[in-house]
Chain A
Amino acid sequence: GNSVTQMEGPVTLSEEAFLTINCTYTATGYPSLFWYVQYPGEGLQLLLKATKADDKGSNKGFEATYRKETTSFHLEKGSVQVSDSAVYFCALIRGGGSNYKLTFGKGTLLTVNP
């Protein structure tokens, strides 16, 4: 079946540090890949997406590249801010089929200290 594995948290960084959150996936067909962010007490916000191999999604300084050869979609940001503190979820929607179900990783809690 489809699955997403992302690095265990929590991750604690100082402001302006470089961020990488690893994500790998297993899926049939050609999935679409996503990163969602959940701030404390809020819903999930779509952070970025990539729908085919070699696509790079980017938003708010975050970026991730769809690597089919390594089945990965790692999230990176060059300089994190305190306001980036949140839980980050990697997710996929498998190619084909009639249910566009999102399969999520377990989430990675990021805390950024001033």
Chain B
Amino acid sequence: EAQVTQNPRYLITVTGKKLTVTCSQNMNHEYMSWYRQDPGLGLRQIYYSMNVEVTDKGDVPEGYKVSRKEKRNFPLILESPSPNQTSLYFCATGTGRYEQYFGPGTRLTVT
């Protein structure tokens, strides 16, 4: 079964404590990306990756890092989380401009 998985699904943490949200896909897609969803602001792209070792900034990359060492995995790293990073995060993967699939989401609260 084609899947995009994210972990954890829910996380409450404190300001400054480094965290990683994992994303994994089993569809052998080259393209992966991260979005955050906020009320009133909609969905905004954080980072994307065209292939292994190829990543680039999206619209709101500040405070985030990513890595792409394997095709199937694309973790999102918050080195020093702040309350304004409280959000719902989605990983997406796909064949590019023809279709993209989203993970189930990670709800992050930073206090």
Residues of A within 8 A of B (CB): 31-32, 34, 36, 42-46, 49, 51, 89, 93-95, 98-102, 104-107
Pick out which of these stretches binds chain A: B12-20, B63-71, B79-87, B100-108: B100-108
Contact indicator A43/B90 (Cβ below 8 Å): yes
Contact indicator B97/A43 (Cβ below 8 Å): no
Q: At the interface, is chain A mostly helix, strand, loop or mixed?
A: loop
Contact indicator A43/B100 (Cβ below 8 Å): no
Contact indicator B33/A101 (Cβ below 8 Å): yes
**CB-nearest residue of chain B relative to A42?**
B104
Contact indicator B45/A98 (Cβ below 8 Å): no
A-B contact pairs, 7 of them (CB 8 A): A44-B102, A46-B101, A49-B99, A99-B56, A102-B43, A106-B42, A107-B42
Q: At the interface, is chain B mostly helix, strand, loop or mixed?
A: strand
Q: Which residues of A contact B59 (CB under 8 A)?
A: 101
Quick one: given A43-B90, A44-B90, are A102 and B105 in contact (CB under 8 Å)?
A: no
Q: Is B8 an interface residue (CB 8 A)?
A: no
Q: Which residues of A contact B99 (CB under 8 A)?
A: 34, 46, 49
Compute how far the CA of A2 lies from the CA of B42 in the bound complex, rounded to whole angstroms: 15
Interface residues on B, range: 20 to 34
Contact indicator B42/A101 (Cβ below 8 Å): no
Chain B nearest CB from A17 CB (Å) reads 27
Q: Which residues of B contact A93 (CB under 8 A)?
A: 96-97, 100
Q: Is B58 an interface residue (CB 8 A)?
A: yes
Compute how far the CA of A102 lies from the CA of B44 in the bound complex, rounded to whole angstroms: 9
Compute how far the CA of A33 lies from the CA of B43 in the bound complex, rounded to whole angstroms: 16
Chain A nearest CB from B53 CB (Å) reads 15
Contact of A100 among B42, B97, B102 (CB under 8 A): B97
Q: Is B92 an interface residue (CB 8 A)?
A: yes
Q: Is B48 an interface residue (CB 8 A)?
A: yes
Q: Which residues of A contact B94 (CB under 8 A)?
A: 100
Chain B nearest CB from A39 CB (Å) reads 11
Contact indicator B103/A101 (Cβ below 8 Å): no
